[in-house]
Amino acid sequence: MTTTAAIYARISRDKKQGTEDEGASVSSQIKACKEFITAKGWTLGEIYQDNSISATNGAERPDFERLLLDAPAVVVAYKQDRLSRDVLDTLRIKGAGITGYMCDGGKLDFATSDAGMISIIRSAIDAAEGEKKSERQKLANQRIAETGKYRGSIRPFGQERDGSWVKAEAQAVVEAAEKLASGEWSFFKVSELWNLQGLKTPQTGKQGGKAWTSGTVRNYFTRPRLYGMQDYQGTLYVLKDWKPLLTKDQFDAIQLRIESKRTGKRDSTITRHDVRLLTNIIQCVVCDRGMNAGQRGGTGSPRTYRCPTTKHVTITAEPLEDAVSIRALDLLSQHNEVRAQQEGTARRLAEAQGEKLRISMEHDEWLSEAIEAGLRPSLIADKEAKHAEKISGLDAELFNLNQDKTVSIFEGFELSGWKAAPIELRRDLLASVFAEIKISRGGQGKRFSEDVIDYAYTPLGEKLRDAHVATLLESLHPWELPELPSRASSTPEPLWEKPKLPKKPKNLTGPTFTDDIEFEISEVGKQLWEPSAQNPG
């Protein structure tokens, strides 16, 4: 029986990122893994790769997560530390039932207790070595800083890496510093002038070379290198043979101005890199970019979500998070199928995984026998295509079942319980039911309104939404009927074309009440409002 082996490749930091050679190191790993698979006589399966993701900062590896979800029986990696970064990763690989083979002869094997113990010990050693490497790199960086060499990967605006001036840029910086220190110019004005002069941020490959904004100008003028110093790990070091653009007094005057313009508490605890509940799940309606977390000041100041593009959408975080969370929980709490599907989903998930394994094993066995029997290549190719179609269908079902399983975890939760759950679990749920959430401007000074939120649903979300709407309609009187929740593709049709409805009547049982209402029902309304014994209206 032929073994099908997947490939996983990862590089911690792609030093050629932004150039034509970006991803070359990952490609080299994949090439080595393919040669390993060929030498073993195995069949190449799916290829998973994560580029420029470190082993030490805890960043999520999207394709590694997909690998664990797909759970191929055999995975080949260049080295063990490319596949497993620590003991926790190794245990997750074990839990997925994966055996790992390395091009250097290593193996993540859990077939016996001794093999499993050796795999875990080796993972612990690799993790320790990664930490030691990080410590050595920090010491090397500190030695570089102490020698007075510039450490940046890109030359600073206005200067070369040796501290000499780039004439046009340097003159622009000197002029701006004088005006900023005196209060004559704002950072916004500086950015506008520099852009008009055709001055861009320094560029290396595809990195940099961008227009200035008030924010990037402000950040630029906070760098101690402007007056000949370099910050590393909170300590200032002298840059040797460096020609400063500013005096220390000018630099300090600009820092005072920056501080004076701030509002709220100091020492902000949130940056745009922090992942909050809706980070990059919500999108700016103006430019479709994912919105980041933000905060003006420190603990106690209002949190916000803001579009990375200047002057686009900014919105207060807490009421938005509550509104989106309640929408998700409302769908679940009203969906009767969710209660029944908790056991059903888990059962079918196990069945589908078993079915995929059985089909794959049977196919590999058939393929081995067909090759030995000298079956025509055209017949083998036809069988391979049908097998691939079956596996593709099962993979799609497994993906949807895993989404359903995530949803069922939160069925019946109240908002307080929802907030107590791990943030990644809540983000997974939102991604399972909402295809996108776009945020519009609410108007300056106005209170938060859910009207600024536009939801688009995944197939699972549509199923939940439709069941939720049907449940609500069963319990409402005609005058209480809402418009249907909007779909992503079109504007919803109202239930009533020309409603002529009185305000909520005082006497709901009066004999002439229904005669006083004139209905002109739309097509959607006709489908929803069908007379029945329970609802004779």
pLDDT digits (tens, 9 = 90+) for 182-193: 888 888 899 999
Q: Does some domain include residue 10? A: yes
Four-residue CA torsion sign, 418, 422, 428, 434:
positive
Does residue 141 sit in the same domain as residue 217?
no
Specify the CATH number for the domain of residue 230: 3.90.1750.20
CB burial of residue 96 (10 Å; 0-12, 13-18, 19+)? middle
Greatest mean pLDDT range, 98-102, 135-139, 496-500: 98-102
Work out the pLDDT band at 443, boundaries 50, 70, 90. Answer: low
Mean pLDDT confidence for 396-414: 55
pLDDT in tens, 305-322: 888 877 788 888 889 998
pLDDT for residue 19? 45
Q: Does some domain include residue 61? A: yes
pLDDT in tens, 112-144: 888 888 888 888 887 788 788 878 888 888 888
For the cut 50, the answer to whether the pLDDT of residue 489 exceeds it is no
Q: Does some domain include residue 318? A: no
Does residue 74 sit in the same domain as residue 118?
yes
Work out the pLDDT band at 18, boundaries 50, 70, 90. Answer: very low
Work out the pLDDT band at 445, boundaries 50, 70, 90. Answer: low
For the cut 70, the answer to whether the pLDDT of residue 262 exceeds it is no
Does residue 186 sit in the same domain as residue 106?
no
Cβ atoms of 390 and 359 closer than 8 Å:
yes
Mean pLDDT confidence for 432-436: 86
For the cut 50, the answer to whether the pLDDT of residue 446 exceeds it is yes
pLDDT for residue 114? 84
More confident residue, 38 or 299: 38
Q: Does some domain include residue 284? A: no
For the cut 70, the answer to whether the pLDDT of residue 284 exceeds it is yes
Q: Does some domain include residue 412? A: no
Q: Does some domain include residue 63? A: yes
More confident residue, 38 or 145: 38
Work out the pLDDT band at 449, boundaries 50, 70, 90. Answer: confident
pLDDT for residue 37? 94
Cβ atoms of 127 and 85 closer than 8 Å:
yes
pLDDT for residue 13? 55
Does residue 22 sit in the same domain as residue 120?
yes
d(CA 78, CA 229): 42
Does residue 191 sit in the same domain as residue 116?
no
Mean pLDDT confidence for 516-536: 55
Least confident of 199-208, 303-312, 323-332, 528-537: 528-537
Please report, as a single letter, which amino acid is at residue 499.
P
For the cut 80, the answer to whether the pLDDT of residue 105 exceeds it is yes
Q: Does some domain include residue 110? A: yes
Mean pLDDT confidence for 492-512: 48
Least confident of 77-91, 123-137, 489-503: 489-503
Mark which of 113, 146, 179 sits at the end of a domain: 146
pLDDT for residue 488? 45
Report residue 176 as tokens.
């701006």
Work out the pLDDT band at 257, boundaries 50, 70, 90. Answer: confident
Specify the CATH number for the domain of residue 61: 3.40.50.1390
- 228: closest CA among 147, 146, 140, 150? 150
Does residue 76 sit in the same domain as residue 182?
no
Does residue 220 sit in the same domain as residue 133?
no
Mean pLDDT confidence for 27-41: 92
pLDDT for residue 31? 92
Does residue 12 sit in the same domain as residue 96?
yes
Cβ atoms of 347 and 404 closer than 8 Å:
no
For the cut 60, the answer to whether the pLDDT of residue 200 exceeds it is yes
Work out the pLDDT band at 355, boundaries 50, 70, 90. Answer: confident
d(CA 146, CA 311): 41
The residue behind tokens 């904004």 is 213
Does residue 74 sit in the same domain as residue 200?
no
Please spell the DSSP secondary structure of 346-415, one letter per residue. Answer: HHHHHHHHHHHHHHHHHHHHHHHHHHHTT--HHHHHHHHHHHHHHHHHHHHHHHHHHHHHHHHHTTT--H
Q: What is the mean pLDDT of the chain?
A: 77
For the cut 90, the answer to whether the pLDDT of residue 44 exceeds it is yes
pLDDT in tens, 504-516: 444 444 444 444 5
For the cut 70, the answer to whether the pLDDT of residue 421 exceeds it is yes
Cβ atoms of 501 and 516 closer than 8 Å:
no
More confident residue, 196 or 153: 196
d(CA 159, CA 22): 27
d(CA 459, CA 352): 20
Does residue 142 sit in the same domain as residue 175?
no
More confident residue, 402 or 330: 330
More confident residue, 439 or 15: 439
Does residue 129 sit in the same domain as residue 225?
no
For the cut 50, the answer to whether the pLDDT of residue 268 exceeds it is no
Domain of residue 220, residue span: 167-261
pLDDT for residue 299? 56
Does residue 197 sit in the same domain as residue 136?
no
Least confident of 48-57, 79-88, 228-237, 342-351: 342-351
Q: Provide the 10 A C-beta neighbour count for residue 408.
A: 22
What pTM, to 2 d.p., does this model score?
0.39
More confident residue, 205 or 239: 239
The residue behind tokens 């977390």 is 293
Cβ atoms of 110 and 87 closer than 8 Å:
no
More confident residue, 6 or 468: 6
State whether residue 204 is helix, strand or coil: strand
Number of domains in the chain: 3
d(CA 270, CA 259): 17
More confident residue, 486 or 258: 258
